[in-house]
Amino acid sequence: MSSGEAPLLLDVRKVDKQFGGLAAVKDLSLQVPHGALFGLIGPNGAGKTTVFNLLTGVYRPTDGEIHFDGRRVDGRRPYDIATLGMTRTFQNIRLFPDMTVLENVMTARHLRSRQWLADAIIGTPRHAREERATRARARELLGIFGLDALRDEVATNLPYGSQRRLEIARALATEPKLLLLDEPAAGMNPQESLALMDLIRWIRTEFAMTILLVEHNMKVVMGICERIQVIDHGETIAVGAPAEIQRHPAVIEAYLGGS
């Protein structure tokens, strides 16, 4: 499935990102085939989150091209990219505060909405039908993530682990082709990380989804990704299967310091 022969869903070509004089990402190329579970790792400050922000349109690359699902997407606005089928979670959870758990997930269905403002104001049958479908779909997702019982709770009142799962549920509600997970195991204990790996693997199969995972925690990535790319100081230092990566001298040096 993740062989080089599969068509590419995400193709990043020689992307640079500079902040003033600082090169956060240098000459980055990244190929994610359809259906892959791909890991992007690197030590703290390696530029992982910057890569995510480039992919999702938060930043515009200084140089290079990003192609997603056959379209060039660099320079597009984040909502455009989300509509094309790439959605993300955030390293520092960004749920919509003072909205309930259910409303958080329903909000992510907005880009699938086909009604007009007038439909909502008058309350047309189309509005009612869409609202029912949105609610049903959101509750289905909450059920999958074990959050349906908490659907009327304010999202930011949930325990940390549940907030992480809610964020994934919200991203899935947009029906993405590519799901970007930014350090999903951050702040979790080993037991929770284990459960999370289980969940990510399951999501990928169940939703037939391509997943790109940024992770600091090596164990999580090694456990589930078929292919891993390691970056340090904004540059790629290794690409390969988990077993190769673990033995790669440059990776060992980046993580453990010069030998």
Partner 1 sequence: MGPLRKVVALVGTIAILAALNHVFESGLGDFQINPYYARIINLIGINITLAVSLNLINGLAGQFSIGHAGFMAVGGYTATFVTVYYGAAIAGLVGGTLNGGPGTFVVMAVSLSAGALAAALAGLLVGVPSLRLKGDYLAIVTLGFGEIIRVIILNIPAVGGATGFTDALPITTFFWIFGVAIATIAIVRNIARSTFGRALSAIRGDEIAAEAMGVRTTRYKVMAFVVSSALAGVAGGLSGQLFANPLNPQNLNFVKSIEIVVMIVLGGIGSITGAVVGAATLTVLPEALRGFDQQFPGLRMVLYALLLILFMIFRPQGLFGRRELGWTWLRLPGRTKIPVALSDSADARQHTGRRPTDRRSTLGGSDTDE
Residues in the site for partner 1, rule: CB under 8 A?
Answer: 56-58, 77-79, 82-83, 87-88, 90, 94-100, 103, 106-111, 113, 115, 117, 120-123, 127, 130-131, 134, 140, 143-144, 146, 149-150, 152-154, 157-162, 170-171, 174, 189, 191-192, 194-195, 198-199, 201-202, 205-206, 208
Q: For residue 35, give the DSSP letter.
A: T
Q: Nearest approach, Cβ of 36 to partner 1 (angstroms)?
A: 16
Distance CA 134, CA 104 (A): 12
Q: Which residues contact 103 (CB under 8 A, 6 or more apart)?
A: 96, 155
Q: Nearest approach, Cβ of 181 to partner 1 (angstroms)?
A: 13
Q: Which residues contact 5 (CB under 8 A, 6 or more apart)?
A: none
Considering the complex, state which of residue 79 and residue 255 has its C-beta at the smaller distance from partner 1. 79
Considering the complex, state which of residue 59 and residue 251 has its C-beta at the smaller distance from partner 1. 59
Considering the complex, state which of residue 38 and residue 59 has its C-beta at the smaller distance from partner 1. 59
Angle at 206 (CA atoms; ends 106, 193), nearest 5 degrees = 85
Considering the complex, state which of residue 63 and residue 192 has its C-beta at the smaller distance from partner 1. 192
Q: Nearest approach, Cβ of 154 to partner 1 (angstroms)?
A: 5
Considering the complex, state which of residue 191 and residue 259 has its C-beta at the smaller distance from partner 1. 191
Distance CA 257, CA 250 (A): 10
Q: Nearest approach, Cβ of 62 to partner 1 (angstroms)?
A: 21
Angle at 178 (CA atoms; ends 140, 35), nearest 5 degrees = 95
**Long-range CB contacts for residues 127-135, cutoff 8 Å, separation at least 24:** 134/106, 134/109, 135/102, 135/106
Q: Nearest approach, Cβ of 78 to partner 1 (angstroms)?
A: 4
